[in-house]
Amino acid sequence: MTLAGITHLVEHAVLRLVQPVTLWHGGTVQMDSVEFYACGDADAVAGYLNAIAAALSGFTAVSEEDLALEKSILEAENPHGFSTVSGGLLTYRFGTNGLGAGHFGSPTLAGVSRAEAIEWAQRWFTAENAAVTFTGPVPDSLDIRLPQGAAVTRHQPSPVITAPTLVWSQKSGVALSFLVPLRNSTFLGEALRYELLARLRHARGIIYSIVILTTQIDDDCCQLDLILDPVAANTAAALQASVAAVRDVAAEGFTEDAVQAAHRALQALVTWDDNVASDYVIQVAVNGLLGRATPTRQALLDAAASITGPEATATLMTSLESLIVAVDKDIKVRKADVAALDLTLDSYDIWQRHNGTGDLKLQESSEGHRKWRSKTSGAALTLTETHLLKLDSGKTKSIKLADVVLVGDRSCGGISLMDRRGRSTEVHTDDWKDSKKLRRKLLRAFPTGIVREFPEE
């Protein structure tokens, strides 16, 4: 967490080191791999890959200036993620470990040092962790040399959400997330898309589209995410209708039309074009490194053709146990409507209701804990050995210090706190009296290893 985004920075810096390149080329960071690719004359492609390997082997040549330029490019690429942490469906399910660490933003990037970037490149970009694939014969001029190192070991931790749950999200709209078997994940996604579009788009006009994301968790299991795009005024309705729809389909079965649409969508997805070909060579490389087989196009088509409506319905029924529904926390949903969803509620708020020790009403002298008062309201903050407490309107909320895994020390004076579930808050120290002392005490309350420089908010 403290180095979130560092792989992306190294990828950018490596591409900078090999410029100028006129060949069609690029690099990309995925959840489980980094890819460098090029397309064209075989010897030119080999020359590009040789240069990438040379840049990685000699990454100590990267300058402070190179990294500063790439940081500002990364800010332009994703301005929100560059300054703010905000989790998504993988973080809700897995916390900040494993795949949950991939998508919560990278305000840590601003403070990543040259030494850290070099150490990262040397640790991960090794011969043991690399694979190369080609759509044609291996070019004679290929001469890739990478340093030796340790092979990757990976461990995907168990989900932190284990019952069907409604999460109040920082993101707009509505999203549904399931754990499904890898085998029919794409089919299930397409069949659900058809059923949800029929009810929410065609019948009611409350969404435009559904984005489907699949993330492989292990050899057999996949997280299937469906992201719906209602406007704010239709978000509560889309929440009700989408949850009702997936439950109705699980109970009554997918319609013939949905099954047919899913079969046809899968056929279209593996239609042989240049993108499918380049995706395929990338998958062969990545799966090879992970010790996984890569199904051929024909195997995918055969597997898809064999999936029946009843099988997809049975899969959905089982998958409902893993349902996470995320909805925009700023949307007003009536209490009765929330209760009717019959989902565990997760406010996804790092500030938890406090009922332990450390009552703020206790006198400073008796507890020995300093109290900071708000400049603008009656709120107060206190820092104990174990908690940061906030008293506001008669209620006490707290953050357990031991649960905090990342502390952002912002250049504007604010402090950002994120816990192991990826929940975060900004403490605007300027809003409190004696702010300098508050800032100093708060930063000292955490191990120095998790305190990182953050950019201005």
Contact positions vs Zn ion (CB under 5 A): 77
Residue 413 Ramachandran class (φ > 0 left, ψ -120 to 50 alpha, else beta):
left
Integer Cα distance of 220 and 238 in angstroms: 31
The residue type found at 171 is: K
Give the contacts of 338 (CB within 8 A, at least 6 positions apart). 166, 345
Closest CB 121 distance from Zn ion, rounded Å: 16
Closest CB 215 distance from Zn ion, rounded Å: 19
Look up residue 307 and give its two tokens.
Answer: 């999936």
Of 92 and 125, CB closest to Zn ion: 125
- Residue nearest Zn ion (C-beta atom): 77
| Block residue for tokens 């279209």 | 268
Closest CB 184 distance from Zn ion, rounded Å: 33
Of 77 and 143, CB closest to Zn ion: 77
Q: What is residue 207's three-state secondary structure?
A: coil
Of 77 and 359, CB closest to Zn ion: 77
Closest CB 102 distance from Zn ion, rounded Å: 14
**For 279, phi and psi rounded to 5 degrees?**
-60, -40
Instruction: Spell 93-123 as b/e; 16+ CB within 10 A means b.
Output: bbbbbbbbbbbbbbbbbbbbebebbbebbee
Of 70 and 190, CB closest to Zn ion: 70
Residue 342 Ramachandran class (φ > 0 left, ψ -120 to 50 alpha, else beta):
left
Closest CB 354 distance from Zn ion, rounded Å: 41
Of 10 and 191, CB closest to Zn ion: 10
Closest CB 455 distance from Zn ion, rounded Å: 17
Look up residue 374 and give its two tokens.
Answer: 């708000």
Of 88 and 189, CB closest to Zn ion: 88
Closest CB 6 distance from Zn ion, rounded Å: 13
Of 77 and 337, CB closest to Zn ion: 77
**Of 157, 167, 5, residue with least CA distance to 78:** 5
- Check: CB of residue 258 under 8 Å from CB of residue 195: yes
